Structure 1
Amino acid sequence: MASPSATNEISREAARQSLIEISQSVPETPSPQAVKTPISTAENGMLDDGADKYRSKLMSITDLSSDAQPTPCPPKDVAA
């Protein structure tokens, strides 16, 4: 009967060989699938996926923030 250390060595070598085979194998390539476009809703005769709504919302936020004026820095004390 084989000693426990010999059995451990055999299983380590088998694991090592298995990992080498896996690393050298070519990965499976999945079959190409058709890309589905999101379902759009018709609004005013135009197709809209909601992106225009969010885009205009972001633009309005940007317009509001550009109206804000930066606060001027206080003048440095030149007499110091």
Structure 2
Amino acid sequence: MVWTPQQSGVFLDAAQDDRLYALFHLVAFRGLRRGEAVGQDWSNVDLKAGLITPAKEIVVDGWDPYEADPKTDGSASTIA
């Protein structure tokens, strides 16, 4: 299920004070998959330039999480 822009806005408004708000905003507006968003090392994030390069993702197989390459080549490109 994909949220409508209105549903995303309602969620982000409600999550405004949550410590993970920046992550939620990044996922909503830049299209990162959940595993890509949580799998990043700080070495792939440039806060000063406002860039992130998804170099890996966290995948769950049953109950076991593991690191994997991004799902597509487009996932590994740098985004603002």
Task: Please tell me the TM-score bracket, short chain as reference.
Answer: under 0.3
TM-score of the superposed pair, with normalisation by structure 2: 0.15
Structure number with the higher strand fraction is 2
Greater relative CO (CA pairs within 8 A, separation 6+): 2
TM-score of the superposed pair, with normalisation by structure 1: 0.15
- Which entry has the higher C-alpha Rg, 1 or 2? 1
